[in-house]
Amino acid sequence: DIVLTQSPALAVSLGQRATISCRASQSVSTSSYNLMHWYQQKPGEQPKLLIYDASNLASGIPVRFSGSGSGTDFTLTINPVQADDIATYYCQQSRELPRTFGGGTKLELK
């Protein structure tokens, strides 16, 4: 299985940049696609898609969210962080079976 590693938590100030990383145990990229996706989950709610294929913004998601990376290293950036962004963020790969999620990064206010 492809293991996705995320830092458990990240503390950030409102209005600053947050950078959340996800490292895969093997490449999740093909010749055409980077098959890494990002979700936001707030307490008591279902996950919401933010970024797909590493860098594509999902429908209705604010432009302060962006994604980058290829191969094994990926980043979700939130700039600037707003109060509504306090949540847990998960990466997920769809390159291989079984699809796997990272352990999640809880974004906290500094």
Partner 1 sequence: EVKLVESGGGLVQPGRSLKLSCAASGFSFNDYWMGWVRQAPGKGLEWIGEINQDSSTINYTPSLKDKFTISRDNAQNTLYLQMSKLGSEDTAIYYCARAPSVTTHFDYWGQGVMVTVSS
> Which residue, 16, 20, 13, 39, is CA-closest to 108?
13
> Which of 59, 110 has the CB closer to partner 1?
59
81-98: b (≥16 Cβ within 10 Å) or e:
beeebbbbbbbbbebeee
89 binds partner 1 (CB under 8 A): no
99 binds partner 1 (CB under 8 A): yes
Contacts of 31 (CB under 8 A, 6+ apart): none
Q: Which of 55, 68, 86, 103: binder of partner 1 (CB under 8 A)? A: 103
Residues 32-61 that bind partner 1 (CB under 8 A): 33, 35, 37, 39, 41, 45-49, 52-53, 58-59
Determine the Cα–Cα distance for residues 96 and 14; give it in Å rounded to an integer.
36
What residues make contact with partner 1 under the rule CB under 8 A? 1, 33, 35, 37, 39, 41, 45-49, 52-53, 58-59, 90, 92, 94-95, 97-104
